[in-house]
């Protein structure tokens, strides 16, 4: 049986809010529902009393035939979405969304679907006493079903927005099939809708006579810049989710760089103000000189944290592809080719970091008292940069197998540890300032990568574990109140820590199988979960956390892991 994920009542706690929170538009008082809204939500004005009123609670409690929560609770959930999720998934324009969902005009079916997606993903953050365990499960199941069915049968921007918001819930639950399946649907839909390219893309409007197949733009022209940028951000969020869903596996990305011909998202404040601006094109080539000169527009003043976040994620994607390439470490030509690409990617990371404007590139500014510019995108772009550093350099620092011409690199290990230190500093700042509840599964992945690196180094090189690991484990445990995938990372790490400590106490010199599996840097998060959860516990206790087999795979025997005993 799988380990118990955090129960619904565990989701009811909220992290404290601070003045360091991500900037957003002031929350207006809940509007008086229009007649159309009253008809749809089934809640008249007389029922919109304070939740503290026991009579109001009884009147507003969920009944089996209610698909959505009462009007006031629904409005509160949408507000929670903007406070806790849109902070790291900035695809919905707050004012436009609230006007669309709660304004005087009749609610369209696509808006209802978006509401269902928001409900399914945001219930975890609500502490409203009317939400019992049963009503939470009821609303979640109904909303999830409606969004999935509608998304399967309809193709529109709002249907896709609903699927993406729901995908946050599924990807945040595990690294397994539920998230993969919805991402397969989303990544094809976004290309088919034409959102992977700009309307001015050469694939749509070539500036020369050509015989290649043209793409028809099936969507109507956006009404204004808010809608145009919302579509752009929707695509980039799908790109982001595709990358994170794949980084935890050994698979290929669903969104191919060759299908992308987009400009980067602009600064949040420009989008909020409906101020149309130009931004530079997303580069899929490694070198700027390989880019078509028609794409030379730069305009760095229009770029924000989300823009740079996408750029560093693109480099992390290249690292993922690099690590998937088979290398014969006994062949000099293979090793030299590997080293050449390794140095190219290292230079790419360094150049990107030094190319950041001062307000985004200087991490020390984050820790200065009175800093008012912090947002969650800023945190994530730095977290992702350090994740990329670890992913790249750990392949050279902790190679699973060696040869006379391929040996561990001490300098690479130092780069890894520098990145871990920065992630720890970032994590402590996030925790101390109450921002953890405003970050999602991508931040949990960064914490996992950092803590795994410390475990590998401590168990295979130093034979002494860093006390810093416990901070990462506890932070993942706290994130697990909202995102089960973080709880799963925490559980895996805690098991390896427990077995390593038991082994040290016994002093028999035998490395537990879970430690050996974790130390194999070729293994992805999904593989590690799959393999470690199937290992018998070192102390002979039954493994209650074993998951049912999801894919046919053979667990390696103990003697097949002996090469890790170095």
Integer-rounded Cα Rg, in Å, for the chain is 24
Q: How much is the pLDDT for 60? A: 41
Query: Does the pLDDT at position 483 exceed 90?
Result: yes
Helix 225-247 × helix 441-457 angle, to 10°: 30
Rounded distance between C-alpha atoms, residue 309 and residue 87, angstroms: 13
Q: Which of 12-21, 144-153, 485-494 has the lowest mean pLDDT?
A: 12-21
What confidence tier does 350 reach under pLDDT thresholds 50, 70, 90? very high
Q: Which of 8-12, 79-83, 398-402, 494-498 has the lowest mean pLDDT?
A: 8-12
Mean pLDDT, the chain, whole residue set: 80
User: What are the start-end ranges of the H helices in 85-129?
Assistant: 94-102, 109-122
What confidence tier does 287 reach under pLDDT thresholds 50, 70, 90? low
Tokens representing 40 are 């749809």
What percentage of the chain carries pLDDT values higher than 70?
A: 72
Query: Does the pLDDT at position 245 exceed 60?
Result: yes
Query: In the chain, count of helices (H) and strands (E)?
Result: 20, 0
Query: Average pLDDT for residues 313-332, to the nearest whole number?
Result: 91
Query: Does the pLDDT at position 521 exceed 90?
Result: no
Q: Which of 14-18, 70-74, 113-117, 430-434 has the lowest mean pLDDT?
A: 14-18
Q: How much is the pLDDT for 388? A: 97
**Per-residue pLDDT tens for 351-403?**
999 999 988 888 777 777 666 666 899 999 999 999 999 999 998 998 878 88
In degrees and rounded to multiples of 5, residue 134 shows phi and psi of -65, -45
Q: Which of 135-139, 199-203, 404-408, 499-503 has the lowest mean pLDDT?
A: 199-203
Query: Average pLDDT for residues 248-253, to the nearest whole number?
Result: 80
Of 377, 464, 389, which Cα lies nearest the Cα of 421?
389
Rounded distance between C-alpha atoms, residue 171 and residue 164, angstroms: 10
Q: How much is the pLDDT for 284? A: 77
Q: Work out the angle at residue 242's Cα, subtended by the Cα atoms of residues 241 and 245, and round it to the nearest 5 degrees.
A: 80
**Per-residue pLDDT tens for 526-556?**
656 655 666 666 554 444 444 343 333 444 4
Question: How far is residue 190 CA from its own chain's centroid?
Answer: 18
Higher per-residue pLDDT: 469 or 518: 469
Contacts with 431 (C-beta within 8 Å, 6 or more apart), sequence order: 475, 478
Q: How much is the pLDDT for 410? A: 93
Identify whether the C-beta of residue 266 lies closer than 8 Å to the C-beta of residue 303: yes
Of 451, 306, 476, 450, which Cα lies nearest the Cα of 387?
450
Contacts with 149 (C-beta within 8 Å, 6 or more apart), sequence order: none
**Per-residue pLDDT tens for 179-221?**
888 999 999 999 999 999 998 765 555 544 554 555 566 788 9
Q: Which of 211-220, 246-255, 429-438, 468-477 has the lowest mean pLDDT?
A: 211-220
Query: Average pLDDT for residues 408-419, to the nearest whole number?
Result: 94
| Terminal alpha carbon distance of the chain | 34
Identify whether the C-beta of residue 538 lies closer than 8 Å to the C-beta of residue 501: no
Q: Which of 36-45, 76-85, 238-247, 300-309 has the lowest mean pLDDT?
A: 36-45
The sign one gets for the Cα dihedral 536, 538, 544, 550 is: negative
What confidence tier does 3 reach under pLDDT thresholds 50, 70, 90? very low
Rounded distance between C-alpha atoms, residue 527 and residue 452, angstroms: 14
What confidence tier does 503 reach under pLDDT thresholds 50, 70, 90? confident
Query: Does the pLDDT at position 291 exceed 60?
Result: no
Higher per-residue pLDDT: 307 or 33: 307
Q: How much is the pLDDT for 400? A: 79
Q: How much is the pLDDT for 345? A: 97
What does 450-514 look like in DSSP terms, one character per residue? HHHHHHHHIIIIISS--THHHHHHHHHHHHTTT-HHHHHHHHHHHHHHHHHHHHHHHT--PPPHH
Query: Does the pLDDT at position 27 exceed 70?
Result: no
Of 213, 77, 94, which Cα lies nearest the Cα of 135?
77
Query: Average pLDDT for residues 341-349, to the nearest whole number?
Result: 97
Tokens representing 132 are 């019992």
Per-residue DSSP letter, 15: P
Helix or strand or coil: residue 312?
helix
Q: pTM, whole model, 2 decimals?
A: 0.81
Q: How much is the pLDDT for 539? A: 54
Q: How much is the pLDDT for 19? A: 35
What confidence tier does 280 reach under pLDDT thresholds 50, 70, 90? very high
Contacts with 220 (C-beta within 8 Å, 6 or more apart), sequence order: none
Rounded distance between C-alpha atoms, residue 300 and residue 357, angstroms: 8
Rounded distance between C-alpha atoms, residue 136 and residue 92, angstroms: 24
Rounded distance between C-alpha atoms, residue 350 and residue 347, angstroms: 5
The sign one gets for the Cα dihedral 39, 42, 45, 51 is: negative
């Amino acid at each position: 049986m799988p380990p118990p994920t955090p129960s619904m009542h565990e989701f009811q706690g909220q992290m404290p809010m601070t003045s360091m929170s991500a900037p957003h538009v002031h929350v207006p008082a809940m509007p008086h529902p229009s007649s159309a809204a009253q008809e749809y939500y089934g809640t008249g004005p007389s029922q919109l009393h304070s939740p503290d009123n026991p009579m109001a609670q009884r009147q507003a409690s969920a009944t089996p035939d209610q698909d959505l929560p009462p009007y006031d609770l629904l409005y509160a959930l949408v507000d929670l979405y903007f406070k806790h999720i849109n902070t790291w998934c900035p695809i919905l324009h707050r004012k436009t969304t609230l006007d669309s969902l709660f304004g005087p005009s009749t609610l369209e079916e696509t808006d209802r679907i978006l509401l269902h997606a928001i409900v399914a993903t945001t219930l975890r953050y609500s502490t409203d006493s009317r939400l019992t365990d049963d009503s939470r499960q009821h609303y979640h199941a109904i909303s999830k079903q409606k969004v999935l069915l509608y998304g399967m049968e309809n193709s529109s921007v709002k249907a896709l927005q609903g699927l993406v918001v729901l995908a946050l819930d599924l990807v945040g639950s595990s690294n397994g099939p539920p998230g993969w399946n919805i991402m397969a649907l989303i990544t094809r839909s976004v290309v088919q809708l034409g959102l992977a390219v700009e309307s001015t893309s050469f694939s749509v409007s070539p500036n020369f006579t050509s015989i290649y197949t043209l793409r028809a733009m099936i969507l109507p022209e956006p009404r204004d810049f808010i809608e145009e940028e919302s579509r752009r951000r929707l695509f980039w969020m799908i790109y982001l989710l595709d990358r994170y869903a794949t980084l935890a596996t050994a698979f290929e990305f669903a969104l191919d760089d060759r299908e992308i011909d987009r400009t980067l998202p602009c600064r949040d404040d420009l989008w909020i103000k409906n101020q149309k601006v130009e931004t530079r094109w997303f580069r899929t080539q490694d070198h700027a000189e390989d880019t078509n000169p028609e794409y030379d527009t730069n305009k760095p003043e229009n770029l924000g944290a989300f823009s740079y976040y996408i750029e560093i994620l693109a480099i992390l994607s290249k690292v993922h592809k690099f690590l998937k390439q088979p290398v014969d470490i006994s062949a000099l030509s293979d090793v030299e080719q590997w080293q050449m690409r390794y140095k190219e990617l290292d230079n790419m990371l360094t150049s990107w970091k030094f190319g950041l404007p001062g307000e985004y590139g200087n991490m020390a500014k984050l820790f200065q008292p009175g800093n008012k510019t912090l947002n969650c995108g800023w945190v994530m772009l730095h977290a992702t940069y350090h994740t990329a550093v670890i992913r790249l350099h750990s392949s050279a620092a902790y190679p699973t197998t060696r040869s006379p011409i391929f040996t561990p690199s001490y300098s690479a290990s130092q780069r890894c540890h520098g990145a871990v230190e920065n992630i720890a500093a970032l994590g402590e700042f996030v925790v101390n300032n109450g921002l953890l509840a405003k970050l999602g599964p991508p931040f949990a992945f960064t914490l996992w990568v950092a803590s795994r690196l410390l475990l590998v180094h401590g168990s295979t090189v130093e034979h002494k574990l860093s006390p810093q690991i416990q901070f990462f484990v506890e932070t993942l445990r706290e994130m697990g109140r909202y995102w089960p995938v973080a709880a799963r990372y925490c559980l895996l790490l805690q098991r390896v820590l427990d077995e390593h400590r038991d082994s040290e106490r016994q002093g028999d010199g035998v490395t537990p199988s879970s430690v050996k599996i974790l130390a194999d840097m070729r293994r992805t998060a999904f593989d590690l979960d799959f393999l470690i959860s199937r290992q018998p516990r070192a102390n002979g206790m039954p493994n209650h956390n074993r998951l049912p087999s999801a894919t046919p795979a053979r667990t390696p025997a103990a003697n097949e892991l002996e090469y890790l005993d170095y």
